[in-house]
Structure 1
Amino acid sequence: MADFDTVVKTRRSVRQYLPTPVPRDVMTKVLDAAQHAPSNCNTQPWQVHILSDEAKDTFSRLITAAYDAGVDTKDFSFAVADYDATYKARARAQGAAYYQALGIPRDDTDRRQDGLRRNLSFFGAPHVALLFAPSVGDNVRVAADIGMYAQTFLLSLVANGLSGVPQTMLGSYAEQARTLLGLPPEMKLLFGISFGYPDTEHPAARYNIGRIPLSHSIVHHSAL
């Protein structure tokens, strides 16, 4: 078990995995730790559906067909274009670093499209966790709970020698996920996390874009 500082600072969104399945006892250990995530009033509203093997492949086929048909069934709106200039620039920097790591030039639209489509096959990961929550009010508090669960899950993966990548794009296929899993419409899909053993030889698993300085995010107050 790595120390906390190492776990936090070595966690990254890995976008290439080995096909090796995660043993059930290891997965249970990861999930047991994630279950201790905080939530508003200890409501623990997350419902996590883990797809492996045929279930994962079926979901991949469904969302690939939806993507090719231009179908979008997301429960929550999201577009990088909605950010202001500061945050939009950070998103673009991440995309640029990713495609540069893959050796894809900015003007190679076909290969960039292929890079985007890798989301639909979960970057080769043997498992994908779909994070659902019940619709409550404006959903902000519940979404925050899912975020706290997801971060705990991601850190637990790293602590156990695994990696994961949160995929907002998977949230664009909420209806396909509900239909496949037999879930009611009130269960809302925020996003998915593909996970497994990282392919450390692949550039998509090695690149790192770093973080902004603390001074850009933190403001200390001792008197007002």
Structure 2
Amino acid sequence: MNQRIAHSTGASEVTSPTTALSFSDVMRSRHSVREFLPDPVPPEVIRGVLEDAQSAPSHSNTQPWLVHVVSGAARDELSAELLAAYDEQRFSSDFTDTYGDGVYQERARSQGAKIYGKLGIARDDQEGRNEVIRDNLRFYGAPHVAMLFVPQLGDGVRAASDVGMYGQNFLLSLHARGFHGVPQAVHGLFADTVRKKLGVSDEFKLLFGIAFGTGKPDSPVFNLALGRIPLEESVVLHDTTLG
């Protein structure tokens, strides 16, 4: 059943023990979780996360995001549709999905090697690797998934970057409240399937989904450290001094 979020004013109350963390600590300690407990997130927490995400900046305040939060039976049905689309190879991407041939592909391969290694899946284990993909489409067992859509405005780059900032707010708010999330671009490979199931117009393009809930702490990939490149590899300073 579709439901519109009623208007609410006032700051969202955060009661998680992690609220003692500084904002910098929240950002640096957030990590993607790839195995969840089935426990649902309380409705008031979901509302608070959505209100936090809504504060994201956007180009000329266009706020070009459409978000469908899917839980319960609707979540199970959506997962089943995605698995069927994958098994039948019914791909329908709104955006290209490539890492190129250079350093970006190397970083992606490094992440994959770390995840498969922690899961004990060998490089030539095609069945095991296929099951990892299917687990993506089961939302890693998370009780909720938020699908983030963007309207096709111009070439779509500015609107997509705005939705990216929305998604980051969403993830950080979850973490600050003691919950976990993982952005999943794989959902975008089946955009037509998701749109049809959720009743979304073709004018909205599926950017990615965010599975969320409570991470399973004994998962082998719960605290997987993927690392970040040094600042010197991504930042150029012009008459600027760092402390």
TM-score range, shorter chain: over 0.9
Matched residue SS, 1:55: helix
Query: Equivalent of 1:164, from 155, 164, 181?
Result: 181
Deviation at 1:107, TM superposition (A): 2.0
1:149-182 Cα distance to aligned partner (Å, 9 max, x none): 0111111111010111111100111111111121
Q: What is the 5 A alignment of 1:132-151?
A: 132-151=149-168
CA–CA distance in 1 between the matches of 2:132 and 2:201?
Answer: 32
Using the alignment, how far apart are the partners of 1:160 and 1:6 within structure 2? 13
Aligned partner of 2:3 in structure 1 is: none
Alignment partner of 1:51: what SS? strand
Partner of 1:54: 73
- State the one-letter code of the partner of 2:91: D
RMSD, aligned α-carbons: 1.1
**Structure 2 residues without counterparts, runs of 5 or longer:** 1-18
In structure 1, the partner of 2:88 is 69
> Letter of the aligned partner of 1:57 in structure 2?
D
Distance in 2 between residues matched to 1:34 and 1:120, nearest whole Å: 24
Alpha-carbon shift at residue 204 of structure 1 (Å): 2.1
The one-character-per-residue Cα deviations of 1:53-103 (angstroms, maximum 9, x if unpaired) are: 1111111111111100111111111133xx231111000000000011111
Partner of 2:144 in structure 1? 127
Instruction: Quote the offset at 1:36 in angstroms.
Output: 0.5
Instruction: Count how many residue pairs are aligned between Structure 1 and Structure 2.
Output: 221
- The one-letter amino acid of 1:75's match is D
Rounded to whole Å, the distance in 1 between the matches of 2:192 and 2:123 is 33
Partner-residue secondary structure (3-state), 2:93: coil
Separation in 2, partners of 1:210, 1:200:
20
2:40: which partner in 1? 21
Corresponding position: 1:175 with 2:192: yes
Secondary structure, aligned partner of 1:19: coil
| TM-score, reference length from structure 2 | 0.88
User: Separation in 2 of the partners of 1:111 and 1:161?
Assistant: 31
- 5+ residue gaps, structure 1, are none
Q: Distance in 2 between matches of 1:175 and 1:107?
A: 31
Which whole-Å CA distance do the structure 2 matches of 1:112 and 1:122 have between them? 16
Which of 110, 113, 121 is the aligned partner of 1:93? 110
Match of 1:209, as an amino acid?
L
Q: Which amino acid aligns with 1:159?
A: A
The Cα shift of 1:42 comes to: 0.7
